[in-house]
Structure 1
């Protein structure tokens, strides 16, 4: 069995800010400009094909490489010939303790939860030899309007001083008291929607 580690980000074609991939996603969300960006399947197929070939023929175990690629997207790619490990404490995943029905692996050292997934249908059709994905989020968590907290934040209307309950679903809100349209400031929005950090994910293949 072969294993590859991947860390991928692209430059948003709308605003030029960085979008981090949490797995082989066909759509990603830009936290900066709030656009959803469709990802052509061919873009990911070409990347994964190159990664597989390098892992099998060029990279020694534990060895990796990084590159900047200009094409359909401008992207930064880091990958390595590396078995899955906990990205919090760096402890290797004990692959022998994972059974086919497991959906998560709990790191015995730090308690971090590592998702385990079967490849989506499109990926399985392109690469039948890919057997599992580790530490992926196959649904971009920022592609909907959910927040990192279920708590309501109280914000003062800058026009009338009324206390507004903010749930973070929309950045433009209407004051319940004076009817003014209010654009939530950056510090409040980032508190409700923390900036996504880079995420390393892994896949196994034969």
Structure 2
């Protein structure tokens, strides 16, 4: 048996399995899976031992990309007073953010994103840019020039199968780029809403 960590299969956690189960149930509710297919895939998801077993169960259910506005990016400018996108807003595959003096906040915690990758190009300016993503989403800040404010990924845990990757490029400027998961109060509020 190989002892090379790079070749060792990563064991699936309950959270990994539940993320896929949720997507399968949503697909069935939308009519993209019949009940027989749902039962079969749910059984495979719940019995998966490794993370690698999970993506094939949902690959044909997640569109490569959903084009919003004929391919035009969503442009958000912070200006003097700042701007925010939160709640159930429609997320395109490309977002251009100019922080300005007031800054910009992008909150993805209540969005129904189906793209695999969301490209966010930032010019954080003096106000900075804050990006809030659900736990389990992927974040890539490798192509951000930190500038004076820096670029900070404060998210926890690894990316779960089937979840989006937020790929950030551009400059942190003076205000910086800060990516995090929802805070404790926001998580409580989301939990209460789900329990309804």
Larger Rg: 1
Q: Which has the higher strand share?
A: 1
| Shorter-chain TM-score range | under 0.3
TM-score, L = length of structure 1: 0.24
> Could you tell me the TM-score, scaled by structure 2's length?
0.25
